[in-house]
């Protein structure tokens, strides 16, 4: 919604917005754009007499501003529908969908198009380092959008992405998530099937050829051009494995990485041809898949593969995706958006491959609705298993027993019921040479800055030295 507000502002509208507990980097971006932010959801803000109210999916019946909007008969719409009507119908939309990697892949794709001189518009759920903002109008015809499967609004329970009508569609992966919206995986797959049906025959779908759940989606019907990628584990296969059109697709895009490497360097292959080596600052097998998807989508928009690879050499990543927030007392503190077991595991794997035997201390806030409902509690210990020590924030209202979920980790696991205890415990136990990986899809109460401050203020004590994983 912050990105939509930025686009509306750039289009010449006066924009105000309401929310609670807005945190950087979005709060900073809104302030710099001159967008007035109103704290809370009181009806008084409608005294501005808006020409249209754009309703986000956090809004529900019973909120004073919503009740007043309905009582007064004001014109209203959802964010995705406003965007579709005001902008997307005139653009070549490149949409990136999937459970994981949407933000990073969208940022890569927008940067490739930008570097090729195409000046795309974009709407991304994060701040790409190459742009410094999450949304812009851009120039005709291209518009890159992060295509979310979450529902649209209280009056429109379809997935957001069905409004976007992409000509180029990336399907990164598909797992069960959003347990507050969808009862099972099949219900999410139906939304993805609706999305596939909106891609024209002259369009293109770029799909993860190793994802069985996406293979089932495409097996239900695919009427567009199709290209498959499979590269994150250093594979270079010909068949689509478990995915594709019912498992019968062919992988056009693959990658070859050095054995046991951190995937910061790999060879890009298209239809069996070496297209060039990508050497960048990102790590992890998941980012290899993200890169292949972005290169394939950009090629559909006319950017040669070699030009795309060259652009990705200068890709600066996305805020809150393995972002080094600082170093204090010899401890590096990272911020990452991971909040699903698969994302947690792949993020840890990438960091482990990069730093070798140095200690990783994983810090997790189970903040997403799916996590808070306890859907993934049985998978949590395995996902965090790549860390040397684990700290999990478990507020009293969480609703499930974190200690039991982490029991397989034994003495490596620590649970904190308040943020002060979490920060003080970490500041006490971290030593020079450690890597503190903080994972949350929210602001996490400013834990990153608080931990860095606590480490900076910590007195030098005897016996504290660097140590490696055992």
DSSP string for residues in 95-112: EEESSSSHHHHHHHHHHH
Both tokens assigned to 138: 């851009």
**How buried is 167 (Cβ within 10 angstroms: 0-12 exposed, 13-18 middle, 19+ buried)?**
buried
3 state DSSP class of 292: helix
* 305 and 334 housed in the same domain: no
Return d(Cα 402, Cα 285) in angstroms, integer.
28
- Tell me whether residue 469 is in a domain: no
CATH of the domain at 73: 3.40.50.720
Residue 240's pLDDT is what? Answer: 33
Q: How many beta carbons lie within 10 A of that of residue 202, not counting itself?
A: 8
Question: Are residues 197 and 294 part of one domain?
Answer: yes
Residues 339 and 248 in one domain: no
Indicate if 39 and 141 belong to the same structural domain.
Answer: no
The whole-angstrom separation of Cα 305 and Cα 116 is: 11
Cα separation of 147 and 79, whole Å?
12
- Specify the CATH number for the domain of residue 251: 3.40.1190.10
Are 388 and 365 in the same domain?
A: yes
| Residue ending a domain, choose from 274, 289, 312 | 312
Please enumerate in sequence order all residues whose Cβ is within 8 A of that of 140, keeping only pairs 6 or more positions apart, or say none.
90, 91
Residues 6+ apart with CB under 8 A from 347: 284, 286, 322, 336, 338, 437, 439
Domain presence at residue 470 = no
Per-residue confidence (pLDDT) for residue 64, from 0 to 100:
96
What is each CA distance from 261 to 89, 314, 317, 354, 385, in whole angstroms? 43, 20, 19, 8, 19
> Which of 80, 105, 126 is the C-terminal boundary of a domain?
80
Yes or no: say if 165 and 332 are a contact pair by the CB < 8 Å rule.
no
Helix (H) or strand (E) run with residue 55 in it: strand 53-55
SS3 (DSSP) at 94: strand
Q: CATH number, domain at 327?
A: 3.90.190.20
Q: Are residues 442 and 330 in the same domain?
A: yes
Same domain as 426, residue 404 = yes
Using the 3D structure, point to which of 16, 50, 80 is the last residue of a domain: 80
Residue 277 near residue 295, CB atoms below 8 Å: no
CA separation (Å) from 155 to 59, 75, 104, 430?
10, 13, 30, 48
Distance from C-alpha of 78 to C-alpha of 55, rounded to nearest angstrom: 5
Same domain, 384 and 253: no
Cα four-point dihedral sign 85, 87, 93, 95: negative
Q: How many domains does the chain have?
A: 3
Closest to 50 measured CA to CA, from 39, 36, 60: 36
383 part of a folded domain: yes
DSSP state letters, 49-62: --S-EEE-TT--TT
What is the 8-class DSSP label of residue 83? H
Domain carrying residue 296: 87-312
Other Cβ atoms within 10 Å of 460 Cβ, number: 6
**Residue with structure tokens 């050499």?**
313
Residues 94 and 68 in one domain: no
- For each of the chain's 470 residues, which pLDDT tens digit applies? 888 999 999 999 999 998 887 777 778 878 888 898 888 899 998 998 999 999 999 999 999 999 999 999 999 999 999 999 999 999 999 999 999 999 999 999 999 999 999 999 999 998 999 999 899 999 999 999 999 999 999 999 999 999 999 999 999 999 999 888 999 999 999 999 999 999 999 999 999 999 999 999 999 999 999 999 997 554 433 333 333 333 446 899 999 999 889 999 999 999 999 999 999 999 999 999 999 999 999 999 999 999 999 999 999 999 888 999 999 999 999 999 888 999 999 999 999 999 999 999 999 999 888 888 888 899 999 999 999 999 999 998 898 999 999 999 999 999 999 999 999 999 999 999 999 999 998 889 999 999 999 999 987 654 444 454 44
Closest CA to 277 of 285, 269, 286, 268: 268
* Residue 274 pLDDT: 96
Contact call for residues 103 and 321 (beta carbons, < 8 A): yes
Judge if 93 and 66 occupy the same domain. no
For residue 91, tell me if it sits in a domain: yes
Is 468 among the domain residues?
no
Q: Provide the 3-class DSSP secondary structure of residue 430.
A: coil
377, 260: one domain = no
Tokens of 3: 């990105």
- Cβ distance 35 to 6 under 8 Å? yes
Query: Would 335 be classed as within a structural domain?
Result: yes
Write the burial class of residue 221 (CB in 10 Å: 0-12 exposed, 13-18 middle, 19+ buried). exposed
Q: Is residue 355 part of a domain?
A: yes
Same domain, 161 and 43: no
List beta partners, residue 43: none
The pTM score is 0.88
d(CA 80, CA 351): 35
Residue 460: predicted pLDDT: 64
Instruction: Give the chain's end-to-end CA distance (angstroms, integer).
Output: 45
Does residue 99 form part of some domain? yes
């Amino acid at each position: 919604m912050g990105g939509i507000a930025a686009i509306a502002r750039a289009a010449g509208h006066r924009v105000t917005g309401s929310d609670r507990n807005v945190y950087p980097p979005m709060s900073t971006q809104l302030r710099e754009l001159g967008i007035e932010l109103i704290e809370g959801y009181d009806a008084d803000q409608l005294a501005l007499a808006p020409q249209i109210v754009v309703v986000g999916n956090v809004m529900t019946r019973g909120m004073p501003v919503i009740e007043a909007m309905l009582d007064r008969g004001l014109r209203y719409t959802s964010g995705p529908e406003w965007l579709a009507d005001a902008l997307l119908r005139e653009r070549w939309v490149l949409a990136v969908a999937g459970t994981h990697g949407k933000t990073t892949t969208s940022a890569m794709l927008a940067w490739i198009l930008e570097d090729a001189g195409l000046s795309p518009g974009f709407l991304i759920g994060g701040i790409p380092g190459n742009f410094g903002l999450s949304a812009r109008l851009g120039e005709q015809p291209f518009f890159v959008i992060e295509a979310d499967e979450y529902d649209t609004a209280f009056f429109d329970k379809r997935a957001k992405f069905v409004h976007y009508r992409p000509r180029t569609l990336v399907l990164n992966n598909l797992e069960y998530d959003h347990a507050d919206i969808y009862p099972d995986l099949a219900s999410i797959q139906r939304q993805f099937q609706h999305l596939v049906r909106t891609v024209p025959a002259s369009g293109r779908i770029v799909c993860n050829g190793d994802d069985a759940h996406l293979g089932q989606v495409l097996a239900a019907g695919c009427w567009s051009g199709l290209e498959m990628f499979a590269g994150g584990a250093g594979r270079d296969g010909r068949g689509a494995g478990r995915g594709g059109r019912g498992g019968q697709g062919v992988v056009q895009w693959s990658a070859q990485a050095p054995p046991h490497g951190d995937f910061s360097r790999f060879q890009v292959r298209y239809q069996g041809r070496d297209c060039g080596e990508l050497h960048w600052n990102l790590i992890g097998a998941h980012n290899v898949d993200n890169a292949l998807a972005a290169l394939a989508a950009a090629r559909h928009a006319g950017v040669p593969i070699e030009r795309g690879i060259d652009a990705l050499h200068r890709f600066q990543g996305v805020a809150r995706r393995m972002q080094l927030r600082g170093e204090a007392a010899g401890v590096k503190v990272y911020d990452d958006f991971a909040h699903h077991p698969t994302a947690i595991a792949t993020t840890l794997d990438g960091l482990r491959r990069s730093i070798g035997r140095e200690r990783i201390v994983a810090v997790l806030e189970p903040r997403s609705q799916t996590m808070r409902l306890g859907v993934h509690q049985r998978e949590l210990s395995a996902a965090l298993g790549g860390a040397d020590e684990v700290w999990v924030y478990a507020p009293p209202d969480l609703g499930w027993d974190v200690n039991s979920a982490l029991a397989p980790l034994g003495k490596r696991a620590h649970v904190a019921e308040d943020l002060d205890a979490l920060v003080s415990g970490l500041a006490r136990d971290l030593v020079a040479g450690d890597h503190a990986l903080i994972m949350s899809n929210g602001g996490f109460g400013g834990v990153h800055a608080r931990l860095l401050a606590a480490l900076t203020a910590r007195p030098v004590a005897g016996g504290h030295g660097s140590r490696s994983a055992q």
